Structure 1
Amino acid sequence: MDLALGLVVAFLLLSLLVSGLNEAFVRLLSIRSKFLWAYLRDTLDGVGEKSPSWLPASVRDVLLALPFGRDPRPRHSDKPAPAQLGEMPAAKTGDSMMNLLYERVREIDHAKRGRTSIANIPPERFSVAVMELAAMENGDIPEFLKKLQRIDSPLYGHLKGLWESAQGDLDRFRKGVESWFDGEMQRLSMLYRRYVKWVLAVLGLVVTLLFSMDGFEYAKTLLRDNAFRASVTAVTEAGPDAYDELRRQCTGGDPVPCVTELLSEPALVKVMGQAMVSVSIPAQGEPSVQGNLPVWWDRITTPSHWPGFLLTYVALLFGAPFWWDVFRRITGIRSRR
């Protein structure tokens, strides 16, 4: 039980670190918001020779082009949606349709370095925005669809099919747009998670090597600590013979300081102390940060540690939710809903 719980806690903490680094990276570079608006630009304004797709086509684009390249998000406006709707562009002019959509949803926005921070548009809000855009043609959906076709917007094909299936019923059309957009957001989320898995895999490798976390060595240290605690406990039952044996294990003569020192450094602290940079908390004085570059490099370049590193890396790929569930099952903690 000690071995299982110790391993689970270590993998849970490291998985949380990986998730935290990923979340910090995503929030700092506004990846979710850029991903959404790249999709909206492609869907509303289309893709052509002069306007290539904004959505990333590979993992490399997610890590480089999307965070550091051209920003697909519209510029933030702190003004509410205008009461008087703008006009539909007579010809395709880049991001015009997307700007019209942003006008209808920017009430839920707040600025982030001059750009919109919207990373999620509720399907109900999107369907209402489409109906408001259609109101530019006095609510005449067929005329609205004709203008979408005239500017060569990919949205035309989707809305035309929904309008025909609604058989001219505006309420059914609105609900159809809502269901269609909800399905598109689910598909987009699956595509986003597929790219994020690669980012988590890279971060998992970095964390494993940074802490030089050898899973097998950690398990061995857990078992050794458990055996030492058992021998200390046996002193109270076995009498002077066990005390003499404990004294021989401790080099200082008096086993009390030795036992105190060993029990105050559990296996997790010992293993984490072999990272590239470690923090030591002495019995007296302030905590100190020290570099362990020579020791860390020696561990990284020692082939006998590589199977343990591989075990830790594979464990981190399961993610923090998996290890939290295992932790709850071992400890009997029940989730409250």
Structure 2
Amino acid sequence: MRQAGRSLPEYREVRKDIGMLDSCFRPELLAEITMQPVRRHDVDAAILFSDIVVPLKAAGVNLDIVPGRGPVLDTPVRSESDIKALPEVTEEQLAPVAEGIGLILQELTDTQALIGFAGAPFTLASYLIEGGPSRNHERTKALMHSDPELWGHLMQKITPMVIAFLRAQIGAGVDAIQLFDSWAGYLTERDYRRFVLPYSKQIFQAFADVGIPRIHFGVGTGELLGAMAEAGPEVMGVDWRVPLDVAANRIRATLSDVHRGADPAQNSLALQGNLDPAILFAGEAAMTQEIQRICSEADRAIKRGDARGHIFNLGHGVLPNTDADAITRAVEIIHAT
């Protein structure tokens, strides 16, 4: 999800004594942090420095990102009155993000893209209900099954916030958007389709005509790839657990069922991924082998018509103690492959 981070000494320097969420609302700082990995690693695209809970914080939800734990709320959201009390997010509240995007675009070249992103409604709902990160998401699952109507009300409150956050990014000039569903992999396909897919689909439909690529990604979602593809992205992010050609086949099989009798071109997506972040610790020979394998899997999927293209990426975020030079070398190997 994020390129910038503790793997870069320059990041640690500029973030010194500044909270994570505070950094996301300072235009000059978020622009600087976004550009740091672009300057250092010569990647083809920048990823906006932000966090999935930024629209909640912008709207006025009382939360913070606690080092070593993640987003934590003062008061969880678990009742109808809690949901009604959730504020809406405004364009003015998101203005610092838009201003930061403008600064980033001034530095990027014509051949470098800027990818914006937002957290998906399910993942945001889980943080709100659990009050912070959860290993099992038991309160979230309990609410969706015990009170589907209340669950629907919460998702209907969150979805417009996500749309507003992405709209602000698109209006400021990002070249692509990604919907990031961190916790979807904890769901069965049945529950995903019933409780999550309708709302993710609303978000992709809101930007169907903007003319930029829309990316969908979740962690541990190998069994959900087909269902997630139904939400409507052009690109599916795949984590490191599933070979890209296998992922492409799953997506195509599902979409062929959904679009039965329609244009076959609708049945495949571009793929994004999917180097295991831990491989960056394994040395150049191992990195080269894995990068070549992933590119070969993507090529097979493209040649047989299961995928429209491939964006090389990690299968999740850069691990904090990754050697920055290893990232640079990986990019060089990718460019040469």
With the shorter chain as reference, the TM-score category is: under 0.3
With normalisation by structure 2, the TM-score equals 0.23
Q: Please tell me whether Structure 1 or Structure 2 has the larger radius of gyration of its CA atoms.
A: 1
Give the number of the structure with larger relative contact order, counting CA–CA contacts within 8 Å between residues 6 or more apart. 1
Higher helix share: 1
| TM-score with structure 1 setting the length | 0.23
